[in-house]
């Protein structure tokens, strides 16, 4: 066994943030610009928070044809090389950043990295997918029995094979045909030689937005990636909508049966960058509103409100403003913590959180501290942070969580532990408080979260306005593959 590296945090799911859910990917595409690959790389960099394991770009140029590059690691380490970017000429391109699922973490092959490419009778097409296909196992079995040969372990490859078997006349129609067979969540960015295509599933679970840049167009998972390339945000792609963009402009239609929107509410809580716009609302302002609502629902007498950086910061500011308790940076994040992949010793392992977070001792000593975080998943990091705060001399530690208890796994494009690994699935709020060893623990209510995202009457129990399955256990699309594997759905009467 190699010697332990003192800065190794690879034993945690994301270099120290082992108590967070992770988006599995982000998508981006442009058409009608010179040197499309450079714009795509910038967009992917802005979406890096949605996937850090690997990234890929596909472009098309009339002389060079379709070209692709797929790399492990951060965008800044792979797609800032002039040598790499010179291999990706053309005025149209799409890109994808990937964060693998829990089952395959650390075992991803380069062939699993998107975008995927297929050559059809009417020409080539590349596709990048954010979300998760919940009937992928059944589709894969059917396709293999009919002669399809899969190159990756990704559920997204099913779309390419379904397109190949379609009898429709052109690639957008074949994509429609394929996506009608798909269950689950999908925001897709695809390209042909001349067309940039964007599609959202009928429920609109994952985000996708349209932007204008000069005479060209852009599609992105979030508006923050439009900002980085200087594109103007035009609008969100609607649930169930397909847009086909050419040099002539944007053609829109709705190929799926209309359904009530079920956008992922956790995008507001954590996944999306705070400088993005979702549903016409600033993500930052929504998170501040969540903090205000939390302060109304769960007040506590204390001296300081401190965020768990960085995701708890806007909610902590909102909690402070509503409660009148001063806001302070009681925990400081080291922004320069890298990652290595060498097995650490037990003594180094226990320092994992301290490599990323350090307590501002002079500030917290003798104080009653309210710690605001966006979520509690396993509870491992929360316990370590509490211990650090107490070791620094805090008199009391009160946790306030800017989301309801995460008690159910997500099957729509998020890396979630098995249900028995989720603290809220096995413990009550009081039991979690005792397990974490804090003076008090309170989560925002589901109705409170809905009010904070703009639903003044709270959650509509008969037809929830968002997908909130990770909190409620009410899945808008039955995860058929998981049920086949033994997953127990929540009883209807519960």
- Condensed to tens digits (0 to 9), the pLDDT of residues 3-19 reads 344 433 433 433 345 56
Which residues are marked as active site?
A: 25
Q: What's the CA gap between 98 and 25, in Å, rounded?
A: 4
Which residue is associated with the tokens 């401190």? Answer: 306
pLDDT band, very low/low/confident/very high, at 285 (cuts 50, 70, 90): very high
Where residue 339 falls among pLDDT bands split at 50, 70, 90?
Answer: very low
**pTM, to two decimals:** 0.90
Q: What is the DSSP letter of 327?
A: B
pLDDT surpassing 50 at residue 344: no
Beta strands of 12-147 (E only): which ranges?
22-23, 25-31, 54-61, 65-72, 92-98, 116-120, 123-133
125: phi then psi, degrees, rounded to nearest 5: -150, 145
pLDDT of residue 295: 98
Strands annotated E in 240-395? 242-246, 249-253, 263-264, 277-278, 281-282, 304-307, 331-333, 357-359, 368-373
Helix axes 157-165, 136-145, angle to 10 degrees: 40
Q: Report the share of the chain in percent with pLDDT over 90.
A: 81
Q: Cβ contacts of residue 186 below 8 Å, gap of 6+?
A: 129, 130, 131, 133, 159, 179, 199, 200, 201, 206
From CA 114, how far away is CA 459, in angstroms rounded? 36
Alpha-helical segments (H) within 310-392: 313-323, 346-349, 352-356, 361-364, 380-391
pLDDT at position 254: 97
Per-residue model confidence as pLDDT tens digits over 373-421: 999 998 888 999 999 999 999 999 999 999 999 999 999 988 788 899 9
Q: How is 109-121 classified by DSSP, letter by letter?
A: -GGGSSPEEEEET
């Amino acid at each position: 066994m190699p010697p332990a590296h003192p800065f190794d945090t690879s034993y945690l799911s994301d270099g120290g943030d082992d108590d967070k859910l992770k988006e599995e990917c982000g998508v981006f595409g442009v058409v009608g610009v010179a040197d499309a690959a450079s714009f795509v790389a910038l967009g992917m960099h802005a979406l890096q928070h949605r996937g850090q394991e690997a990234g890929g770009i596909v472009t098309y140029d009339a002389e060079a044809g379709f070209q692709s590059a797929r790399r492990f690691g951060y965008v800044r380490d792979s797609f800032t090389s002039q040598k790499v970017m010179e291999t990706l000429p053309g005025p149209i391109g799409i890109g994808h950043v990937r964060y693998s699922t829990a089952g395959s973490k650390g075992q991803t092959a380069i062939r699993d990295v998107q975008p995927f490419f297929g050559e059809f009778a009417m020409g080539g097409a590349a596709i990048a997918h954010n979300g998760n296909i919940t009937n992928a196992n059944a589709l894969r079995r059917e396709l293999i029995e009919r002669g399809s040969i899969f190159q990756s372990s990704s559920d997204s490859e099913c779309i390419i094979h379904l397109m190949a078997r379609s009898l429709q006349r052109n690639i957008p129609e074949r994509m429609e045909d394929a996506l009608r067979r798909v269950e689950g969540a999908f925001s897709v960015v695809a390209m042909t030689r001349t067309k940039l295509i964007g599609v959202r599933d009928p429920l609109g679970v994952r985000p996708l937005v349209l932007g204008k840049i000069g005479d060209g167009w852009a599609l992105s998972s979030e508006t923050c990636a439009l900002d980085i390339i200087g594109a103007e945000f035009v609008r969100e792609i609607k649930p169930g909508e397909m847009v086909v963009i050419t040099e002539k402009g944007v053609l829109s239609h709705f190929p799926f049966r209309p359904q009530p929107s079920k956008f992922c509410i956790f995008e507001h809580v954590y996944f999306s960058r705070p400088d993005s716009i979702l549903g016409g609302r600033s993500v930052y302002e929504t998170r501040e509103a969540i903090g205000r609502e939390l302060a109304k629902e769960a007040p506590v007498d204390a001296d300081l409100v401190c965020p768990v950086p960085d995701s708890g910061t806007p909610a902590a500011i909102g909690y402070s403003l509503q409660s009148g308790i001063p806001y302070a940076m009681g925990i400081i994040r080291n922004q320069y913590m890298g990652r290595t992949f060498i097995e650490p010793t037990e003594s180094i392992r226990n320092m994992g959180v301290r490599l990323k977070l350090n307590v501002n001792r002079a500030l917290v000593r003798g104080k009653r501290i309210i710690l605001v975080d966006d979520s509690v998943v396993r509870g491992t990091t929360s316990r370590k942070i509490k211990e650090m705060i107490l070791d620094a001399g805090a008199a009391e530690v009160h946790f306030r969580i800017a989301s309801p208890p995460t008690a159910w796994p997500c099957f729509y494009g998020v890396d979630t532990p098995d249900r028995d690994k989720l603290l809220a699935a096995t413990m009550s709020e009081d039991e979690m408080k005792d397990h974490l060893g804090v003076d008090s623990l309170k989560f925002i209510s589901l109705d409170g979260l809905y009010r904070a995202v703009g639903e003044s009457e709270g959650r509509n129990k008969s037809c929830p306005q968002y997908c909130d399955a990770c909190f409620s256990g009410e899945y808008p699309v039955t995860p058929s593959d998981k049920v086949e594997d033994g997953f127990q759905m929540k009883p209807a009467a519960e």
